[in-house]
Each structure stands twice: as C-alpha cells, then as structure tokens.
Structure 1
Amino acid sequence: MSNDVKDSEVPFVKVEGLAKQYRSDLPPVFENVSFSIHKGEFICIIGHSGCGKSTILNALAGLEQASRGGIVMDGKEVDGPSLDRGVVFQGHALLPWLSVEENIAFAVRSRHPGWSRNQVAEHGARFLKMVGLAGAEKKKPAELSGGMKQRVGIARAFAVEPKMLLMDEPFGALDALTRGVIQDELLRICADTRQTVFMITHDVDEAILLADKILLMSNGPRAHIAEIVINTLPRERQRETMHHDPQFYRLRNHLVDFLVHRSKKLQETRDLKAAYGEPRVVRPGLDSLKVVASRDDEPPTNTPRRAAAGPA
C-alpha cells in the first residue's frame, strides 16, 4: 500500500507542531508532534502510557483541542468532530437499548438523513456482513460477546464511510484468538476499501501485522515522535506466516528495544535535536540498512526496498 506512495504526493493528513498542555504550571504532555499520512495508509502509534497517544487521536478526531499546532485533513483544518473521521474506541460504545442493526442504522442516518428505512437497512447489512455478523442483526449488545461488540463498533464506523478511521486500542480487552480473527477482518476490509487508518496499540506484533508505518513516541511529559518506522514486510502479510520473513524479527527487535531502552533514554537525555527536529525515518527490516537517520522517505540509492524472504 503505502510502500508505493511517492514523497511528491500531497499528504492526506498533515499534523504540524502539535502540543497539549493541561495546566500552565505543568510541562506539556507532548510537544512538537509532526507527521503526515497519505491516503490509504495504515498508521500505528506506539508509546508508553502517559505520552499522549489518545490525546493525539482525539485531536485528529476533532474531539479535543490542542494547545499549539494544527491538523489539516484533505485540505481542510480539523477544528471539530466530523463524519469524515470515524472513531472506534477501546469500549464498543454501543447503545444498549438498540439492536445491532439499529445501532448501525443510527450512525448511517447521521450520514444520510434523507435515506429511506430500506436504504439504511441495506447499507448497514452490507457492513455487518463485511465484519462477519450477518445473522446477528436483531440481537442487543448484552447478547453479544466482547469480540462481536467490537465488530459492531467497527461496522458502525465503516458504515458512515469516513475518509479516515481512528482506532484507540480497539482489541486491547479481547482474548488472543478473538483479537486475531478481528485483525484479519480489519486487514481484509482495509484492503477492499483502501481505508486510511490511524490506530493506537501497545502490541508490537499487531503493529507489524497491520501498519505501513509505525510512529514511536518518547515518554512523557514533553513526549514527541522520535522515529517513524517503515514496515518493509510485504503488504499481503498474514499472522501465520509473517514471522518466516527475516525482516520480521529485525522490525520486532527494533520496536521492543525502543520501548524497553531507548524511549527511557530519550526522556533522560532530552535530545533537543530529536525532540524539536523532524522525526527520523528508519527501516530496520531491510538487510543492508539497520537504521537510517534520514529526513527522506526513500531508501538510499542501490539499497533494496525489501529483503528477500527466506527461512527464519
């Protein structure tokens, strides 16, 4: 997907100099957060609790105002909530007195207020089928498992056909098997719809499976995006087989090392160049390129884009 995006293309989303400070006598939670998202990209952001990931997502959604900086999506400044940005929270946030199909219909009517009841029902049914919930339309949320509730939340977000989908650790409370099934569904849906996604996760393997780029945040306060990690694994990756590609372990080790060691060191040393310059772009998955401290999104000349797959 995004591996084919050229730097010359205008970003679909541009975040510049974003900061959030709740009280004047306390340092900002994060500052100088800058990154871009191209249309159709799947972005994951990883960092320790307290670095402001959810606040950044809420700012992208227009649900929270940043203290400084700005966000532009599709050429327009983000200054409040919009149906162009769908949100899937950690909790399913379903209306308990409505059935599955009624929860979906409630969202669809907000996008298409002039549609007939049949149009709304047909549209909603298509997305319920897409997430594997055909046949559960009449059930209330209390009759659903946790994984099914999250699927309804995902279907509801997709049903309003947003330009960007924002997901705040949507699978964090699910068991490993259910989580894997929904991850597969999400990959399939995004491949079919070319959906642009920004997602918070604490799961390194999940980020490698889903994301085109992984944003690594330093620890708060005064957190910033320290690195943008390019996922050089082939886009058509699968949970069952991606660990056979030798790039997988290079990517995974790089992410884990950042979370365990380097994020803490960044907080202690307060490297001003890292904190106030552009985040460096790294490709730890490539054979010949361990870390590239580059402002450019293209690998150096004569560097292969992707290492040849082989036995792990």
Structure 2
Amino acid sequence: MSFLRIESLARRYAPEGPPVFENIHFGIERGEFVCILGHSGCGKTTILNVLAGLDEASSGHVFMDGREVRGPALDRGVVFQSHALLPWMSALGNVAFGVRSRHPEWSRAEVEARSTRYLEMVGLGQALHKKPAELSGGMKQRVGIARAFAVEPKMLLLDEPFGALDALTRGTIQDELLKIVQATQQTVFMITHDVDEAILLSDRILLMSNGPCAKIAEMVEITLPRERTRAGIHHDPQYYRIRNHLVDFLVNRAKDFARDTPDHDPRHPPRVRPGAILPEPLATD
C-alpha cells in the first residue's frame, strides 16, 4: 500500500455545477518526489489543499501512512507561493515558531539549534536575525522552506513555491531543495507550471487534463539518474524525449483528453516511461 493514497477524489463548488475534478486516484511512495502539471483551473491547488487538510473534497478519501487525512497536522509541511512569514519575527524566529509547535517540550537552545541548522541548509546562515522586510523575495521563500523542513514532516506539500522568483534565484533554490530532499529522503508533492523544474526535481509527474471534470491523464516516470543537476540534465538525450512529451500533452492533448478517452479507467491512468518509448528528439543545429 502506498504511503499516500488518494481514492475517488472529487471537488465541486456548486451542487448542480460540474466538478472541478473527479475520479482522482493516485499513490505516492515514501521518499518519492511527485510533481503535478496542468493548466490553470484543473484543480491542482485544491488537491494540494485537500492533502494538507485545509480543504474538504466533495467525495473521496485521502490516506497517509495508514490514516485518513481529516484536517491540518504537523506531519504535513506546506510551502505556498507566498512566503507567509510573520513580519515581526526574524528568520530564526519564524522557523523556531514551527519547531516549538512540533516540540513544545524542547528548551530554547534546542529549538534554536534545529532552526539554525535548517536555515544554514538553505544558505541563510548569515541572515538569522534579519526580519522579512530586510530579506529579498528569494530569501523569504528560503525561510519558508526551512520552516517546513525543520518540523520534519512526513510529507512536504509545495504549491508553486518558486513561481514569483526570477530565473537565477529560482535555479539556486531548486538546487538547494534538491540537495535537502536527496539528503533527507523527504516525500514531496509539488505543483508547478514549469516543465523543466518538474523534470529536474521529480521521480514521477502527474499530468492533469483541463477542467472542469479534470482527471489524471498520465503518470510519467522520470528515467533520468536521480543524482541530476541543472547543469548536467540537458546533456542526457532522455531529457528531450521527456520534455517533448510533456509539452505535447499540455499544448495539444490536455484540453481534449476527456472527450477523446471515454473508456479511460480513472483508477489506472496510463504509466509512461519516456526514456524508453518516446521518439528521438528533433535534430538541432
């Protein structure tokens, strides 16, 4: 049985209207990094909020580590696109706030040691005592990531955490996130609109058809070596096969998926191994 299991999930906002998504079935193994891709309006963030316990599905169930998810808890850490820091607290104070919630019996020294460790892991060892107003956008997001990791959740939920950052800052934090995930074997579910980001970070990518009535259309397994880097990923021929397949789905097939696949079994979306079956990349100059 998967560490995280989603069964028959659906969400509708109007009793008589069509669901945003329906018949959502998938599982995530312990230590796996899964990204979900799809156009705006297909319900990606709503699914993440249901996993976090911040929203309720209209039907279906979510089980994590053998227990049904029925509300927010510290076994799930969430990082949103907005950093959501407390402005009157320093970077250290923001992370310590989460650590104290997780370990109320710890001494102040123990809390600060844990908080400092994770801030240093995201490259903020020199900014421990700075408040959010003194930090750049990328630094604020690093504090949010450090806070989520510092409570040592069973699962990390990321809702486009780098979407508002410039390309250089985004790349730097991606590298840091990849190192931490690989070192801690953290289970991660992440929403992104960036195809390259999904390929770099994930073990598997879920492709959603367009809403309303969105579904999981395919599960694409990333066959690149797990110890990948932004600098080296482009030199692997599999990268272009995977990328072409994802872009083709998003551009050409996502909107027509439900109409073109009436016999699709939502419990078993097609599993695709792009490194093995996709056509060769187009020749370039």
Q: What is aligned with 1:207?
A: 198
- The partner residue of 1:285 within 256, 275, 285 is 275
Query: What is the correspondence of 1:126-137 to structure 2 with a 5 Å cutoff?
Result: 126-137=117-128
Q: What root-mean-square deviation, in Å, do the aligned CA atoms of Structure 1 and Structure 2 show?
A: 1.4
Q: Distance in 1 between matches of 2:245 and 2:209?
A: 14
Aligned to 2:224: 233
2:177 and 2:125 map into 1 onto residues whose CA distance is: 16
CA contact (8 A) 1:43 1:212 kept: yes
What is the TM-score normalised by the length of structure 2?
A: 0.96
In structure 2, the gaps of 5 or more residues are none
Deviation of 1:49 after TM superposition, in Å, equals 0.2
TM-score, normalised to structure 1's length? 0.88
Q: Which residue of 16, 40, 51 maps to 1:25?
A: 16
Question: 1:190-241 deviations in whole A, cap 9, x for unaligned?
Answer: 0110000000000000000000000000000000000000000110111111
Q: Residue 296 of structure 1 aligns with which residue?
A: none
User: What's the secondary structure of 2:274's corresponding residue?
Assistant: coil
- Which amino acid in the other structure matches residue 221 of structure 1? P
Deviation at 1:136, TM superposition (A): 0.5
Unaligned 5+ segments in structure 1 are 1-9, 292-306
Q: Distance in 2 between matches of 1:270 and 1:136?
A: 53
Task: Tell me the distance in 2 between the aligned counterparts of 1:236 and 1:54.
Answer: 28
Partner amino acid, structure 1, of 2:207: L
Aligned partners of 2:74 and 2:151 also within 8 Å: yes
**Which residue of the partner structure matches residue 194 of structure 1?**
185
Equivalent of residue 273 in structure 1, options 258, 263, 269:
263
Counterparts in 2 of 1:56-95, with a 5 A limit?
A: 56-95=47-86
Q: Does 1:178 find its partner at 2:169?
A: yes
Mapped contact 2:25–2:266 kept (Cα < 8 A): no
Distance 1:20 1:265 in 2: 20
Asked if structure 2 preserves the Cα contact closer than 8 Å seen for 1:224 and 1:275, the reply is: no
Offset at residue 266 of structure 1 (A)? 1.3
Report the 3-state secondary structure (helix = DSSP H, G, I; strand = E; otherwise coil) of the residue aligned with 1:199.
Answer: strand
Give, in angstroms, the shift of residue 275 of structure 1. Answer: 6.0
Detail structure 1 runs of 4+ shifted over 2 Å in the superposition: 270-277
